[in-house]
Structure formats: structure tokens, C-alpha cells
Structure 1
Amino acid sequence: MSRVLTVFGGSGQGRTSGAERMAWRTTSALARRGHQVATLTDAPPPDDLRTAHCPVFRSVAELLSARPWPRPDVVHAYDVALPRAVAQAHELARRWNASFVLTPASTPDVWPDRDLGAALCREARVVYTLTQAETAALEAMGVSGTRVRALPQAPDLVGTPDPDAFRTRRELSGDLVLFLGRRIASKGYQVLLDAAPRVWQHLPDTLFVFAGPVGDAQAARAFRGPLDARVVDVGLLPDQEKHDALAACSVLCLPTSADVFPLVFAEAWACGKPVVTGRFPGVGEVVRDGVDGIVTDARPAAVADALLRLLTDGTARRTLGTAGLRRVRAEMSWDQVVRAVERGYPSSVPSP
């Protein structure tokens, strides 16, 4: 068993990103499987992991003072969209002569420093990727393909879902189209807002529920109002209510144009819900168009057409949602994720 230090930054605003959740869940699973694990992060854990059985340090100074072991075997960093934490992990790995491994967890399109991100990926002895398209993009940046390991995705849901409680609490009825994610331009929140009137022309009672943090000033203005009463902004949801919302919706719609593998897609499928997504590199590996979701252009008219196809055809909706649920049960679990991570740790790390 290995001594593992996981390192990742926090996104702030009281939220936990998909990359952070991946890091927390993998860390917890590694500890359960007998590895000696510690975490360096300023990110809050998911609600049910506040008593995780591994030490958590909030700064490098705190970590160096505590020294949970003489040195780690592996320093595992997450999310190049927050490069400061990844750079800290790289420096700590050098300091301790440990294996530096990295899960980029986000598309280069959202990296704040693409050159630094590419350099950190090239320095990693193992890079974990979620799709072949992500692998190809990193290889184009000079990352050796011999160092890449494929990583599955898995849903991160807490508790038993209660869709009726979500509807009652929010006084919602009828079909719900759910947007769940960070409200930034590349995630397509504005596309969905602009698609809503086209849907209402045919299905005037459809509600559009937006959950997740406001990511920039433009989004803040968009949701400051005035909004149509059929646009419901529920803000940041606790983990249990997020699960309830996914179970309550008719369709999850994230018309993203820049992503790797949104965690929320796996979560929607785990609730038996179909997804509508925009096009991004590798989207065909993530959403099987016409099987567990619909892939369409991130334009209001195209998104509205996709939503109308599903909202007017309950059988198609259930068929796609059921296919997604079967896929999650067969291919997407944290046990599968952590075993893939373990296979990349020291014994199988290629030499620089």
C-alpha cells in the first residue's frame, strides 16, 4: 500500500466542483482500501465526508509542520483549472522525491494559464484522463502517451432522493428542465435561457430550474432579473437537495461547449434521467446521442428542439434515462475509479 498526498484547490463560493468531488471521493476510497492518505486543500468536503478518516491540511505550512509520515510515495494533484494547487503539488513531490501524478479534470479551454497547465501535465509521471479526446489534446501538448491512464467517471450523490419533497419545497409542478452547474458562458446557461421561450411556444407550463453558483458578472446580471416566473433560480443546493432535484427533473440540460466529462451527467443517469448537451471535444464518448441523451449544437433553437423531442415523448425520455442508469451501474462506480487510480501508482509508473 502507498502513502498518498492528494492536493487540489477549492473553487470558493461555498460550492464543490466536480473535480473537487472526484478528489474527495477518490481520497476517501483510497483510505478505505488501506492506503495511508492525507489531503492538502482549502476545499470543503461533500456533506457526508466531513468525518473522513484521513488528515486534512489547509496550507503547506500546516502540512509541513504536522508531517503525517516521513514522506509520501505519491503526490496526486487534481484540476489544472486551479493551477496554483497543482504547482504546489509538483513542488512537494520534488521536495520529497515522490511520484507526481495528475488528474487535469478540466478542459484546457478553461485553464487560466495554458502554458503552465501544459508544463505541469508534461512533468507528471502519470496523467489520468476521462476521454480519448482529452488524451489526444494532452499528447498534442507534448504529454507522452505512455504516461496516460484512462479513468472512469462516477456519480457523487448523497442520501435517498425525494423528488416530491423538492417540488413541494419549491412549489413546482409539471415538467422541469434542470440546469445544474457553474453558470459561466461555456456551460451554456444563456443558451438555455434563450431556448426557454421557444419551448414555451409549444409547452407553456414547462419550468426551467437553474441550480449552481453564478460564475461571472454576466451571469449575475442575467439572473438578477426580471425573469419569467417559469425560470426558477434555486442557487446553491445542499447535497441532499441536489439529489432530490435530479430525481425531480424531466431532463437535465447542460448545453456546454467546453468540457471533458461533466460529473452531473453521470449523476443524472444515476437518477434515470436523460441529458441534453452541447458539442465539445469528445462529447461522443460521454453522451451516446439517441441512447442516453441528445447531443446538439449549443444554439437556442437546436437546444429547444432537443428538449421538445424529450418533453413531448415520455417513452423516449424513459428509454434514454434507463439506458443511462444501466450504464452507470455497469461502468461508473467509485470502486472502478479508485482501482484505475491505483493501477497508475508507483509500481506501474514509467520512468521519466
Structure 2
Amino acid sequence: MKITHLWQDYSPNLFDRAHPLCLAHGVQSEVVCQAFIDNGAAALPHTSWVRRRAPAESNSTALAARIARRLRRPLDLARFARLVQARVQAGAPQVLHLHFGTTAAALVQRHALPSLPMVVSFYGMDVSQSLRDTDTLRAYAMVFRQATLLHVLCDEARQRLVDAGCAADKIRIANLPIDLAAIPDIGTTPTPTTRFLIPARFVEKKGHKLLLDAMRQLCDAGLPVQLTCFGYGPTDWLVQAVAERGLGQAVRVVNNQQSGNFIADYVDMLQAHDVVLAPSIRASNGDDEGGPALTLVMAQAAGKPVIVSDFPGAERSVADGREGLVVPAGQAEALAAAMRGMVGDHARWQRMGQLGRQRVVVEFSEAAYWQQLQGWYSTCSPQP
């Protein structure tokens, strides 16, 4: 069997495991992408792209950069559609695996979605913000008809696709895996200052401003706390938000520039912190998580306790009071209370961290994901 994976934006060494797993299990596999994000990681074999793009190009908020992206987008998409058609014709795959519903929608809108058995995976923005766009919804209607299976990350995402017109029996729910071999069981260590970490892109839906409001409350109460914001994206607004709240001594912002060494950098961060946070919200444009936050899951694999908001998919790795604490999304007071309850409580950190690791090493393993992939691909193209 041969699988062709289609991406608009593809970042090697981040969270794609489908192509590497196919190759590792002797399945012919290739990636075709519109933009290969040049984060310093080497491309795996059988990867082709329209254009290599530096992370800074995507993350820049400068006017000239925004105009350039707007002008380049339709040209790159047209070239991507042609590349997909050429690679499908040359490679003759039995199954397509499209990553992000918006990748499928973009090809539909250009009448360039190949007529082959396909799996379409929805990961977040494409099953939240994109559902507000009329043109995307029209394209999704054709994707729903043509796709053999649609993959989502949680029950809420499944229901959103059903509400958008997708047949329920086509939808599968499965966790994306994490590279457990790359994440040591760090556990917890008593510290005089409780060191919180939010590992997330610097975008509205991750809840940074809400978290800073909660941190201000903890600092005003005289509690020994520190916070690190670790991620990538435009930082000006976040640095300003820290300054406006007078948190310069308690909060630092670390931009890893979408590095291809993300996992190693993140493990270093986990070594230096006690409690990991994911206070995600639904952004003003409708974007939300749409599934488990994999940086949070990785922290659980390292044996760290977590605090999360009740975003769609949080329940896939955290039960309130067991692996961590769950608070209502968008409520700074509730988040501050949960953080206050974690300050200095090493026994609690240890108990929750151990339970979190026990859960995710089973439910987010590559073996579990590969079993799902095999089933999907066999459904799409049964072998004689």
C-alpha cells in the first residue's frame, strides 16, 4: 500500500507522526506540502513542497510581511494544487491522508482534490474557526461526501462535523501520539518557589492574558511563584501584557522560534518547572483547541501535574482532581484558585504527575496511533 500525505503548512519534527510511522513500518509513504517550514530539522525521505518558508515569515506581524503573505497565498495554492496532481499521478497512491480539513477545502475550492479513497484529519482551527466561514463550509460539504473517513480528536469536534452535515458513521476519534522515547520521566522536586510553565503558541486561544491576570492575583497575595511563557509567534503583545500588569519580575517570555529541536528544548523547560498550564479559551475569531493540547500531554508523560481549562479535548488526558485540575475556560478567578492550590504542595504534584504519566503512556502512544492508522488505511483500500 502507498499513502500520500497532503499538508498546506508542514513542520518537520513537531507533531506529525503519520508519515514517520508509515516509513518505520515499511509502508510506502510521501508528504506533499504547500509550505515546508524550514525550522532547521531535516526533511524525511519522500517529502516535496512548493516553497520552503522560514518560521519568522509566518510569525511576522509587520505590514510588509502581511501584504506579502496575502499576495503570495493564491499563487502558492495554485502551485500546490498542480504539485498534488503531479505527485498523485506519478506515485499512484492507494490512499490520501489530508492533514487539516482546510487543506482538503483549499483543494476542493480549486477543483484539485483527487478522486481517491481518503482520510481527512481535523486538528483544531479547522473544526472551530473555519466553521464560521461560508466558503469553507461549502467546500466541507464536498469533502464530507468524498472522504472515506474523517478523523477528529475529541467528542466535541465530532459533534461539530455532524452539525455541519457530515455523516456520523464516517467519523473516527483518535489521539495523536507523542514521542514517548524522547520524553524522560522527570517527575517533581520540592522547590521554595512554585514554577509554572505555559507551553503554547503566542495566540489568543491559548489564554495567556487570562493567565497573567491570575498570576497578578497570586503575586498580590505574596505567594512565591514564577511563570514562563514558552512558545513561538509574535511576542510584542505578550511582552506588553506582562508589563501592563507589572509582572516583569515574575514572568518571562521565551520564544523558541518554532525550532526543529522543539522536543529537546521543551524537555529542558520541563526539567526547570513544577506545574504545567493550558488555560485555553475560545478566541474572538472562533478558534479553539479542538482536541488535546499535545504540549500538555508531553508534560504529563514527563510526570508533571497540570492545570487545564475545560476546552474541547482536555478530557482526553485530564480528569479533575486526578491527573490535574480542570477549571472553567475564561475565568481568571478560578484559574488563580487552582494555581494557588498547587503552590508548594509537592505531595499533590507527585501524585497527579504519576497518574498523568500512567494515563498518557498508554493512550497517546505511537503503537496505539499506528493501530488506528492501519485500520483507517485498510478501510480505505482493502487488500486482496
Bin of the TM-score, shorter chain as denominator length: 0.7 to 0.9
| 1:332–1:157 distance in 2 versus 1, CA, 3 Å | closer
| Cα-to-partner distance string for 1:152-194 (whole Å, 9 max, x where unaligned) | 232247846698xxxxxxxx99422111111222210001111
Contact 1:274–1:317 (Cα < 8 Å) also in 2: yes
Corresponding residue for 1:57?
49
Q: 1:188 aligns with which of 207, 222, 238?
A: 207
Corresponding residue for 1:8?
7
SS at match of 1:256: coil
| 1:91–1:333 distance in 2 versus 1, CA, 3 Å | farther
Contact 2:317–2:360 (Cα < 8 Å) also in 1: no
Normalising by structure 2, we get a TM-score of 0.75
Q: 2:299 aligned with 1:275, yes or no?
A: no
| 1:39–1:86 distance in 2 versus 1, CA, 3 Å | farther
Cα offset, 1:234, TM superposition: 0.9
Q: Please show how residues 324-339 of structure 1 align to structure 2 within 5 Å.
A: 324-339=356-371
Q: Distance in 2 between matches of 1:45 and 1:98?
A: 30
Q: Distance in 2 between matches of 1:307 and 1:224?
A: 21
| 1:154–1:246 distance in 2 versus 1, CA, 3 Å | farther
SS at match of 1:200: helix
AA aligned to 1:309 is G
Q: Distance in 2 between matches of 1:241 and 1:146?
A: 40
| 1:161–1:113 distance in 2 versus 1, CA, 3 Å | same
Contact 2:30–2:46 (Cα < 8 Å) also in 1: yes
| 1:86–1:76 distance in 2 versus 1, CA, 3 Å | farther
| 1:98–1:217 distance in 2 versus 1, CA, 3 Å | farther
AA aligned to 1:254 is A
Q: 2:198 aligned with 1:199, yes or no?
A: no
Normalising by structure 1, we get a TM-score of 0.81
SS at match of 2:128: helix
AA aligned to 1:345 is Y
SS at match of 1:9: strand
Q: In terms of mean alpha carbon deviation, does 190-199 or 333-342 score higher?
A: 333-342
Runs of 4+ in 1 over 6 A off after TM superposition: 45-48, 89-93
Contact 2:180–2:361 (Cα < 8 Å) also in 1: no
Contact 2:6–2:103 (Cα < 8 Å) also in 1: no
Contact 1:247–1:273 (Cα < 8 Å) also in 2: no
| 1:125–1:219 distance in 2 versus 1, CA, 3 Å | farther
| 1:340–1:162 distance in 2 versus 1, CA, 3 Å | closer
Q: Distance in 2 between matches of 1:40 and 1:113?
A: 27
SS at match of 1:10: strand
Corresponding residue for 2:253?
233
| 1:294–1:45 distance in 2 versus 1, CA, 3 Å | farther
| Cα-to-partner distance string for 1:115-158 (whole Å, 9 max, x where unaligned) | 41543652322111222222122111111111112212322478
Contact 1:38–1:68 (Cα < 8 Å) also in 2: no
AA aligned to 1:242 is Y
Corresponding residue for 2:377?
345
Contact 2:119–2:150 (Cα < 8 Å) also in 1: yes
Q: Please show how residues 229-308 of structure 1 align to structure 2 within 5 Å.
A: 229-236=249-256, 238-239=261-262, 240-257=264-281, 258-259=288-289, 260-297=291-328, 298-308=330-340
Cα offset, 1:100, TM superposition: 2.5
| Cα-to-partner distance string for 1:197-256 (whole Å, 9 max, x where unaligned) | 212244543111001123587446435777522111111264211121123221111111
Corresponding residue for 1:138?
161
Corresponding residue for 1:167?
none
SS at match of 2:9: coil
Q: In terms of mean alpha carbon deviation, does 313-322 or 258-267 score higher?
A: 258-267
Contact 1:276–1:293 (Cα < 8 Å) also in 2: yes
| 1:145–1:216 distance in 2 versus 1, CA, 3 Å | farther
Alignment RMSD, CA only? 3.3
Q: Distance in 1 between matches of 2:91 and 2:149?
A: 23
Contact 2:153–2:313 (Cα < 8 Å) also in 1: no
AA aligned to 1:138 is L
| Cα-to-partner distance string for 1:294-347 (whole Å, 9 max, x where unaligned) | 110232211111111112311111111111100122221122112202211253
Give the percent of matched residue pairs that are identical in Structure 1 and Structure 2. 20
Corresponding residue for 1:71?
92
Which segments of 5 or more consecutive residues in structure 2 lack a partner in the other structure? 51-79, 282-287
Which segments of 5 or more consecutive residues in structure 1 lack a partner in the other structure? 164-171
Contact 2:212–2:242 (Cα < 8 Å) also in 1: no
Corresponding residue for 1:88?
107
| 1:323–1:160 distance in 2 versus 1, CA, 3 Å | closer
Corresponding residue for 1:25?
17
Q: 1:125 aligns with which of 140, 145, 148?
A: 148
Corresponding residue for 1:109?
128
Q: Distance in 1 between matches of 2:355 and 2:48?
A: 38
AA aligned to 1:132 is D
Q: Please show how residues 203-218 of structure 1 align to structure 2 within 5 Å.
A: 204-214=223-233, 218=237
Cα offset, 1:56, TM superposition: 2.9
SS at match of 2:358: helix
AA aligned to 1:145 is A
Contact 2:242–2:248 (Cα < 8 Å) also in 1: no
Q: In terms of mean alpha carbon deviation, does 35-44 or 148-157 score higher?
A: 148-157
Cα offset, 1:65, TM superposition: 5.2
SS at match of 1:38: strand
